[in-house]
Amino acid sequence: MTDSPKKTLRREALRRLKLAAEADPAQLRSAKLRRKLASHLEGDAKTVAIYAPLPHEVNLLPLLQEYPLHRFVFPLCMPEHQLEFRHVQDTARDMRPGAMNIPEPAAHTVAVKPEEIDLLIVPGVAFTRQGERMGYGGGYYDRFIPRCTRARVLALAFEEQIYDVLPTEEHDLRIPLIITTG
């Protein structure tokens, strides 16, 4: 049985990402993307949804120290491929290893309603410049984004995550803004 085009591309994109991460041990590319994000964190964006990065993803964790007046919320995977975001003030205290050893908010953290989120930063494996996104295959963000009625939605991507075309399905949502290292 052959893999679907999405599975094949996801595997190739992850391979490229992991190779690039090995070539950037100081995470200079992540720092560059955080600087490009700065203008989006000004003004009314006080509750910001981010994610704990895998080693090959954009590292957003320094934002907690760089923007101490913001409220940062992190995803917690729930049954039936749903996300709940919870307020995290200190990653060492408020996060624990979750599914696939990805850090997630600990039980004592407080849930935040989707309509309270001002800025939602979405992870992904691959993107197009037109906003198409390929995630990890669970559909969590495709289900969650429509619930964020007031949030500006964007993604940060390394250049090797950008493709001309991605295989998409009807349920795949577009991301209005992709900020890249290029």
Choose among 122, 120, 65: nearest CA to 91: 65
Looking at residue 2, its pLDDT comes to 65
Looking at residue 101, its pLDDT comes to 78
Residue spans of beta strands (DSSP E) within the chain: 47-49, 71-78, 82-87, 95-97, 103-105, 111-112, 119-121, 126-127, 133-134, 152-157, 177-180
The answer to whether 88 and 75 have CB atoms below 8 angstroms apart is no
Residue 55 corresponds to which amino acid?
P
Q: Would you state the structure tokens that stand for residue 162, as one six-digit string?
A: 């950008």
Domains in the chain with CATH codes? 5-180 (3.40.50.10420)
Question: What are the 10-residue block averages of pLDDT along the chain, 182 residues in total?
Answer: 83 93 88 96 93 94 96 95 96 90 93 98 96 92 95 96 91 93 83
Looking at residue 113, its pLDDT comes to 98
